[in-house]
Amino acid sequence: MTRNEYENKIKELGIDLQELNIVIGRKTNVPFSTGCYFEDGDWILCDVDERQNISIIEKSNEDRIFKYLYMITLGKIGK
């Protein structure tokens, strides 16, 4: 799944990523957030804990990261 496909599905479902603390395209230090960004040729999926520590979940290609992020997103909304 590409970033565009992910964003289109999120829009179709009416999901507010900000409400779920999901950040795409940049590093964040917002506590309890999940996000992904592009760096050095890889997409990086990460979590931020309550102390603003960033934990990298996975480094991979766009397709794999956005499939994973989509599953996380659906999990956060309870679908």
b/e burial code for range 36-54 (CB count within 10 A of at least 16 → b)? bbeeeeebbbbebeeeeee
pLDDT at position 3: 97
Length of the chain: 79
pLDDT at position 78: 83
Q: Report residue 21: phi and psi, to 5°.
A: 60, 50
pLDDT at position 79: 60
Instruction: In whole angstroms, give the CA distance from residue 75 to residue 13.
Output: 14
pLDDT at position 53: 95
pLDDT at position 38: 97
Which parts of the chain sit beneath pLDDT 50? none
